[in-house]
């Protein structure tokens, strides 16, 4: 493989853009799994579902990002419903529930994936937008606009959510319920309603994440499988419950993947997220910033 | 004793069936169903008895399949040797994954097993000798008498493997190992406090599970005359094994058998009549239904009529 | 829908089989069943749908004339989605549950490769459908492929020669890690070595790759003069988009070669001007003369409009229709449906079809290859009709169909008006 500093720089730059995108798609999981302890393996599947919804809405002539934003309220409601169901069925019933909860979300992910195949077929779907297909020329470097747009939206989303969780009352209540539920109960707040709200936000964010996903590249129903690795890698590497950690972890994953892609070839890149995940689990399961 | 007699009868019946003029497609479909019986039985040793959900069935199955391919390509190894080597590799992978992750909480173990699938798949994609992403065409050796076709022989082989797997699961369930695993499932902390060697038991279960799954994977390349990574490491094996065990019932070795036979047969019929996708959808829906409504599985529903060793 | 009755019958057959009914010998009267799978969705779907329509045309026209040896054809087709994991199961089902009399391979190399051992083991005739060197390892003697190429030389010669004429000394290979691309790449590498070209880049990518910007960046950094891509439709589109997005370098003389999918009308229309400058293989471009093909294309266009598939039908439909013609002639000549007899006749005969006369070599491939290499020039966006007439694909090889020379370098060809 040829090595040059130009190539290295471009790879790192691409990795940073990609990494911020990975952070944004993982932030929903950071809330639902990191804070709320829900074994939400269906998170990437819901995000891919969001991509397909964006595909439909954008097909009516709207810009994909706008479509994603418009879908957020609907996905919020979806999230609330899912959490409610999960809570009533599993979280209350104790012991065996861990196995069942995992199996439930796994089954849900499969149902979503197959549902998409039955509804849309296995063909790839893409969206059109003025910023998809051209790139910014900076001297010798070419940065695709679709990456810049995804990067921008991802950054805004991540910062907005982090601020929400640390500055607003509900946001802090969410963090509190993750840390000390009984204390929260004693203060008169209803933890279940807070968790349900948080899960709804996490799912709403997934709609926008799905929109970014289909902007970055074509989507197909089985795409959720590789994203299980990426999102859980980011969340575990960050440390459960840390929002700023999610951004840092996303960047690390993005750059790592980009470097592997550039210097070892496209056939090794899919394993980077999963490999990194195993390494973190083996060496430092609490992640970089974990509590 | 009753158990061994019924197994012997089943084995003889399968052998007889393979020699009879039943339509060839029956054996083709039955092989897949039997594969799921073995996979579900193996899964249940760790998942049902100990409560650790393994999503990584395809990784163990796949390492078995590729070990078989390697030996076949390299030295035209006979099927028996392929299976033995595959079981060994599966056991090693189970032990390795166990060492790395069984100390972590349930969901971390589950996610780690997903990671193992993709890493194994990527390794196979990058290994030209066993086909890489392109895959490998395999020419089967001539079938030995008394079987008319290779598929019939594989059918009988799978029946034998299922019997062996069931016997192992039954032994584990009824022995001190099973008691220890159940203690882990009910409350790991309490078990540790009472001196149960939890890590060692979990490792044992994980290793045995890996070995059985690897063995189940070994004949697959011969069955298809073809192997390629994407379908070998497909998550459908995860949901098939896990679903069969949950739907059948996780606390007794009969559960996975019942689940796999029903689910597998249903899948084969639907694939032939409707489509491959609808079959996966139905498995997913059934899984969710049982997990929510009947967590003890079918066995739990007919609990009164079965001798449970609980 | 006629599908549901067949589904009930199939369910019945499956249950009967499970119930242990004895193996029934194939019927000697009643319809003759021809079975296959065809990628109707997935990466090859756009081509497969057009190909399937042509085959259905042949079945309908033959049935109107009385069928084959007096028996009507029953045509059984499944969708394999272009996924090689699906074909062994489908073809086993075709043989053991549907009890078909004759088999046609699915369109393309990747879905066909897995069933080669199966047909060899059972000693069955298989009509190949536009695959590349899929019989090379298995060496089945009852395989007859219908595709205008033979080996890598027949495919690559025109492309490489045009590069050398422009003075190129360096070459880059970008190939998908699947049966077709690897077969072609292995052969093409030999040719490049024999021509003393320097390999500056040689990468395989997993078939599911969707983002090629890193790979194109790598190619650009290596500064090749010839870039030979071997890809399937989804990747071909993604590669072209990446090239247009970030550029491949001003020293590139020739780009393309073995990109499947740039012959499918829907893809050509959707890429539009992004295609300009690319030199790629094809089987037929408007202007080439074969007996009966214009008339076929006119009939096809009518049916394609109703079925809403590729309205032009240049690439695959004539060849798939020809597969029907080949079977028909073999059956009429041998007066039987027996595989060994048909294979024996095909091995030594020349068949006249709408894609010209065909003869096979000992590997079951065309003895006289006729692959065309053509450069896209002056293509505009969103215009299907522009492809109907000659001119947008300038044939640079072989000489008997040549309409012009390749414009080099690649960047200049991209801007050229014609």
- Count contacts between B and C (CB, < 8 Å): 98
B20 CB neighbours in chain C (<8 A) are 20
> Hey, is A125 helix, strand or coil?
strand
A216 CB neighbours in chain C (<8 A) are 211
Whether C243 has a pLDDT exceeding 80, the answer reads yes
> CB-based contacts of A135: which residues, under 8 Å, 6+ apart?
A142, A143, A144, A145, C245, C246
Which is nearest to A202 in space by CA: A54, A46, A86, A58? A46
Whether C153 has a pLDDT exceeding 70, the answer reads yes
Report H helices in A121-267: 145-167, 169-179, 181-186, 191-216, 224-238, 243-264
pLDDT of residue A264: 86
- Of the candidates C17, C85, C206, the beta carbon closest to that of B25 is on C17
> What DSSP state is assigned to residue C380?
-
Task: Flag whether residue A216 sits within 8 Å of chain C, measured between CB atoms.
Answer: yes
Distance (Å, whole) CA B4 – CA C368: 65
pLDDT of residue C134: 92
From the CA of B216, how many Å to the nearest CA of chain C? 18
Whether C7 has a pLDDT exceeding 60, the answer reads no
**Cβ atoms within 10 A of the Cβ of C57, count?**
20
pLDDT of residue A287: 85
Per the CB < 8 A criterion, the answer to whether B48 and B245 are in contact is yes
**Residues C117-135: tens digit of each pLDDT:** 999 999 999 999 999 999 9
Whether C72 has a pLDDT exceeding 90, the answer reads yes
Average pLDDT of the residues of chain C: 89
Residue indicated by tokens 């993709």: B118
| A5-283 CATH, one of 1.10.10, 3.30.70, 3.30.1490, 1.10.3470 | 1.10.3470
pLDDT of residue C3: 46
Per the CB < 8 A criterion, the answer to whether B299 and B252 are in contact is yes
pLDDT of residue A176: 81
From the CA of B228, how many Å to the nearest CA of chain C? 8
Whether C20 has a pLDDT exceeding 90, the answer reads no
pLDDT of residue A291: 58
Angle at A276 between CA A275 and CA A282, to 5 degrees: 90
> Chain C window 254-273: which residues touch B at a Cβ cutoff of 8 Å?
none
Mean per-residue pLDDT for C386-392? 89
Task: Give the pLDDT band (50/70/90) at residue C16.
Answer: very low
Task: Give the pLDDT band (50/70/90) at residue C418.
Answer: confident
Average pLDDT of the residues of chain A: 88
Report H helices in C20-141: 45-64, 87-96, 109-112, 116-122
pLDDT of residue A166: 84
> What DSSP state is assigned to residue C142?
T
Task: Give the pLDDT band (50/70/90) at residue A257.
Answer: very high
pLDDT of residue A175: 81
Average pLDDT of the residues of chain B: 90
B interface with A, Cβ–Cβ below 8 Å:
47, 51, 53, 55, 100-101, 104, 106-108, 110-112, 114-116, 118-119, 121-123, 125-126, 133, 186-187, 235, 238-239, 242-243, 246, 250, 277-278, 280-281, 283-285, 287-288, 291-292, 295
Distance (Å, whole) CA B93 – CA B110: 15
Per the CB < 8 A criterion, the answer to whether A37 and B106 are in contact is no
Whether A282 has a pLDDT exceeding 50, the answer reads yes
Distance (Å, whole) CA B89 – CA B92: 5
Q: To the nearest 10°, report the CA torsion of B297, B299, B301, B302.
A: 170
Which is nearest to A82 in space by CA: A206, A221, A219, A239? A206
Which is nearest to C392 in space by CA: C312, C301, C334? C312
**Residues A79-103: tens digit of each pLDDT:** 999 999 998 888 766 656 677 888 8
Distance (Å, whole) CA C408 – CA C256: 13
- Helix/strand/coil percentages in chain A, nearest 5: 75, 5, 20
Per the CB < 8 A criterion, the answer to whether C173 and C201 are in contact is yes
> Hey, is C208 helix, strand or coil?
coil
A144 CB neighbours in chain C (<8 A) are 213, 245-246
- Residue of chain A whose Cα is closest to the Cα of B114: A229
Task: Give the pLDDT band (50/70/90) at residue B153.
Answer: very high
Instruction: Output the CATH code of domain B2-305.
Output: 1.10.3470
Task: Flag whether residue C227 sits within 8 Å of chain B, measured between CB atoms.
Answer: no
**Residues A65-83: tens digit of each pLDDT:** 999 999 999 999 999 999 9
Per the CB < 8 A criterion, the answer to whether C73 and C63 are in contact is yes
Per the CB < 8 A criterion, the answer to whether B224 and B112 are in contact is no
From the CA of B39, how many Å to the nearest CA of chain C? 20
Per the CB < 8 A criterion, the answer to whether C408 and C166 are in contact is yes
Q: Do C23 and B135 touch (CB under 8 A)?
A: no
Calculate the CA C189 to chain-centre distance.
21
CA atoms within 13 A on the CB side of C190: 10
Model-level ipTM above the cut of 0.90: no
Whether C55 has a pLDDT exceeding 90, the answer reads yes
**Residue C408 token pair:** 């080099």
Task: Give the pLDDT band (50/70/90) at residue C1.
Answer: very low
Task: Flag whether residue A96 sits within 8 Å of chain C, measured between CB atoms.
Answer: no
C7 CB neighbours in chain B (<8 A) are 273-274
Q: Do C205 and A266 touch (CB under 8 A)?
A: yes
Whether C270 has a pLDDT exceeding 60, the answer reads yes
- Count contacts between A and C (CB, < 8 Å): 67
Whether C23 has a pLDDT exceeding 50, the answer reads no
- Of the candidates B28, B137, B139, the beta carbon closest to that of C92 is on B28
C234 CB neighbours in chain A (<8 A) are 124, 218
Phi and psi torsions of A166, nearest 5°: -100, -20
B272 CB neighbours in chain C (<8 A) are 10-11, 14, 93, 97
**Residues A139-197: tens digit of each pLDDT:** 778 888 988 998 999 889 888 988 888 888 888 888 888 777 777 777 777 888 888 99
Per the CB < 8 A criterion, the answer to whether B83 and B215 are in contact is yes
- Helix/strand/coil percentages in chain C, nearest 5: 45, 20, 40
Q: Exposed, middle or buried, B67 (CB in 10 Å: 0-12/13-18/19+)?
A: buried
Q: To the nearest 10°, report the CA torsion of B135, B136, B137, B140.
A: -130
A261 CB neighbours in chain C (<8 A) are 214
Mean per-residue pLDDT for C13-32? 53
Whether A202 has a pLDDT exceeding 80, the answer reads yes
Calculate the CA B26 to chain-centre distance.
20
From the CA of A67, how many Å to the nearest CA of chain B? 28
**Residue C333 token pair:** 């000549």
Distance (Å, whole) CA A122 – CA A221: 7
Length of chain C: 418
Which is nearest to B43 in space by CA: B32, B30, B52, B34? B52
pTM: 0.89
**Residues C279-298: tens digit of each pLDDT:** 999 998 888 888 889 999 99
Task: Flag whether residue A41 sits within 8 Å of chain B, measured between CB atoms.
Answer: yes
pLDDT of residue B163: 96
> CB-based contacts of A181: which residues, under 8 Å, 6+ apart?
A191
Mean per-residue pLDDT for B137-154? 87
**Residue A202 token pair:** 């996490």
pLDDT of residue B197: 87
Whether A1 has a pLDDT exceeding 80, the answer reads no
- Percent of chain A at pLDDT exceeding 90: 45
Question: Which range among A52-56, B195-199, C392-396 shows the weakest confidence by mean pLDDT?
Answer: B195-199
pLDDT of residue C19: 41
> CB-based contacts of C196: which residues, under 8 Å, 6+ apart?
C169
Q: Using H for helix, E for strand and C for coil, what is the string for chain B?
A: CHHHHHHHHHHHHHHHHHHCCECHHHHHHHHHHHHHHHHHHHHHHHHCCCCCCCCCHHHHHHHHHHHHHHHHHHHCCCHHHHHHHHHHHHHHHHHHHHHHHCCCCHHHHHHHHHHHHHHHHHHHHCCHHHCHHHCEECCCCCCCCCCCCHHHHHHHHHHHHHHHHHHHHHHHHHCHHHHHHHHHHHCHHHHHHCCCCHHHHHHHHHHHHHHHHHHHHCCHHHHHCEECHHHHCCCHHHHHHHHHHHHHCCCCCHHHHHHHHHHHHHHHHHHHHCCHHHHHHHHHHHHHHHHHHCCCHHHHHCHHHCCCCC
Whether B123 has a pLDDT exceeding 60, the answer reads yes
- Percent of chain B at pLDDT exceeding 90: 59
> CB-based contacts of B206: which residues, under 8 Å, 6+ apart?
B46, B52, B54, B94, B95, B97, B98, B102
**Cβ atoms within 10 A of the Cβ of A92, count?**
9
Whether C257 has a pLDDT exceeding 60, the answer reads yes
Distance (Å, whole) CA B181 – CA B177: 6
């Amino acid at each position: 493989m040829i090595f040059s500093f130009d190539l290295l720089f471009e790879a790192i730059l691409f990795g940073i853009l990609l990494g911020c995108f990975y952070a944004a798609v993982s932030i929903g999981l950071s809330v639902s799994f990191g804070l709320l302890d829900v074994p939400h393996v269906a998170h990437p599947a819901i995000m891919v579902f969001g991509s397909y919804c964006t595909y439909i809405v954008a097909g009516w002539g709207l810009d994909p990002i706008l479509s994603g934003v418009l879908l957020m309220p609907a996905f919020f409601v979806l999230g609330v419903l899912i959490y409610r169901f999960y809570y009533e069925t599993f979280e209350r019933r104790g012991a065996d529930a861990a196995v069942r909860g995992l199996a439930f979300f796994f089954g849900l992910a499969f149902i979503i994936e197959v549902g998409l195949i039955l509804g849309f077929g296995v063909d790839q779907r893409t969206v059109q937008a003025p910023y998809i297909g051209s790139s910014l020329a900076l001297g010798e470097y070419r940065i695709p606009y679709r990456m810049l747009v995804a990067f921008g939206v991802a950054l805004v989303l991540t910062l907005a959510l982090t601020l929400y969780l640390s500055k607003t009352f509900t946001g802090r209540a969410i963090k509190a319920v993750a840390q000390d539920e009984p204390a929260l109960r004693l203060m008169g707040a209803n933890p279940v309603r807070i968790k349900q709200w948080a899960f709804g936000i996490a799912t709403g964010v997934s709609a926008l994440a799905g929109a970014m996903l289909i902007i970055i590249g074509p989507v197909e129903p089985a795409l959720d499988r590789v994203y299980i690795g990426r999102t859980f890698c980011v969340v575990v590497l960050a440390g459960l419950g840390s929002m700023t950690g999610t951004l840092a972890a996303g960047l690390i994953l993005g750059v790592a993947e980009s470097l592997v892609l550039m210097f070892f070839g496209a056939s090794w890149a899919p394993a980077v997220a999963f490999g990194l995940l195993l390494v973190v689990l083996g060496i430092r399961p609490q992640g970089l910033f974990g509590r | 004793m009753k158990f061994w007699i019924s197994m012997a009868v089943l084995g003889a019946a399968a052998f007889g069936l393979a020699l009879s003029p039943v339509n060839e497609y029956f054996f083709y479909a039955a092989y897949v169903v039997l594969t799921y019986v073995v996979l579900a039985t193996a899964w249940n040793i760790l998942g049902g008895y100990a409560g650790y959900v393994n999503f990584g069935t395809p990784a163990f199955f796949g390492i078995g399949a590729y070990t078989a391919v390697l030996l076949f390509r390299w030295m035209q190894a006979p099927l028996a040797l392929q299976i033995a080597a595959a079981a060994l590799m599966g056991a090693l992978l189970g032990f390795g994954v166990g060492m790395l992750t069984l100390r972590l909480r349930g969901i971390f173990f589950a996610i780690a097993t997903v990671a193992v699938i993709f890493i194994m798949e990527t390794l196979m994609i990058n290994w030209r000798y066993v086909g890489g992403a392109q895959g490998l065409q395999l020419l089967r050796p001539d079938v030995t008498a008394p079987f008319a076709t290779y598929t019939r022989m594989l059918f009988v082989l799978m029946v034998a493997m299922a019997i062996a797997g069931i016997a192992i699961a039954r032994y584990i369930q009824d022995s001190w190992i099973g008691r220890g695993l159940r203690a882990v499932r009910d409350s790991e902390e309490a078990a540790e406090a009472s001196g149960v060697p939890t890590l060692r038991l979990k490792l044992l279960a994980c290793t045995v599970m890996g070995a059985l799954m690897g063995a189940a994977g070994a004949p697959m390349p011969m069955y298809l005359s073809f192997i390629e990574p994407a379908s070998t490491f497909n998550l459908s094996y995860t949901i098939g094994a896990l679903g069969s065990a949950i739907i059948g019932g996780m606390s007794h070795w009969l559960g996975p058998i019942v689940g796999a036979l029903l689910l597998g047969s249903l899948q084969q019929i639907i694939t032939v009549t409707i489509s491959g996708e609808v079959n996966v959808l139905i498995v997913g829906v059934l899984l969710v239904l049982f997990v929510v409504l009947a967590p003890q599985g079918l066995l739990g529903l007919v609990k009164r009529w079965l001798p449970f060793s609980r | 829908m006629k599908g549901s009755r067949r589904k009930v019958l199939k369910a019945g057959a499956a249950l009967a089989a499970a119930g242990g009914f004895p193996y029934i010998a194939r019927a000697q009267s009643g319809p003759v069943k021809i079975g296959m799978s065809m990628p109707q969705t997935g990466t090859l779907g756009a081509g497969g749908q057009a190909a399937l329509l042509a085959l259905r045309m042949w079945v309908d026209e033959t049935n109107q004339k009385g069928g084959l040896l007096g028996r009507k054809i029953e045509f059984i087709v499944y969708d394999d989605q272009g996924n090689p994991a699906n074909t062994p199961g489908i073809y086993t089902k075709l043989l053991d549950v549907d009890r078909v009399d004759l088999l046609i391979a699915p369109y393309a190399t990747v879905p066909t490769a897995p069933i080669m051992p199966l047909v060899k083991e059972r000693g069955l005739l298989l009509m190949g459908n536009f695959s590349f060197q899929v019989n090379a390892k298995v060496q089945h003697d009852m395989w007859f492929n219908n595709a205008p190429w033979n080996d890598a030389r027949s495919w690559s010669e025109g492309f490489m020669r045009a590069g050398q004429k422009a003075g190129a000394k360096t070459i880059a290979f970008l190939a998908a890690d699947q049966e077709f691309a690897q077969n072609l790449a292995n052969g093409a590498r030999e040719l490049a070595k024999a021509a003393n070209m320097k390999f500056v880049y040689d990468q395989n990518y997993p078939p599911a790759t969707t983002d090629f910007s890193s790979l194109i960046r790598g190619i650009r950094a290596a500064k090749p003069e010839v870039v030979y891509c071997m890809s399937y439709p989804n990747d071909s589109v993604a590669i072209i988009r990446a090239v247009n997005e970030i550029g491949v370098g001003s020293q590139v003389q020739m780009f393309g070669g073995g990109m499947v999918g740039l012959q499918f009308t829907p893809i050509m229309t959707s890429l539009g001007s992004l295609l300009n400058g690319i030199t790629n293989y094809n089987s037929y471009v408007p202007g080439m003369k074969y007996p009966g093909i214009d008339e076929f294309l006119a009939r096809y266009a009518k049916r394609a409009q109703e079925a809403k598939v590729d309205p032009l039908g240049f690439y695959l439909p004539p060849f798939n229709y020809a597969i029907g013609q080949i079977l028909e002639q073999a059956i009429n000549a041998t007066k039987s449906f027996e595989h060994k007899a048909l294979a024996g006749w095909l091995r030594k005969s020349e068949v006249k079809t709408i894609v010209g006369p065909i003869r096979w070599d000992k590997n079951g491939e065309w003895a006289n290859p006729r692959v065309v290499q053509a450069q896209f020039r002056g293509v505009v966006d969103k215009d299907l009709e522009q492809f109907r007439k000659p001119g947008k694909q300038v044939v640079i090889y072989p000489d008997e169909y040549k309409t012009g020379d390749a414009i080099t370098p690649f960047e200049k060809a991209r801007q050229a008006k014609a």
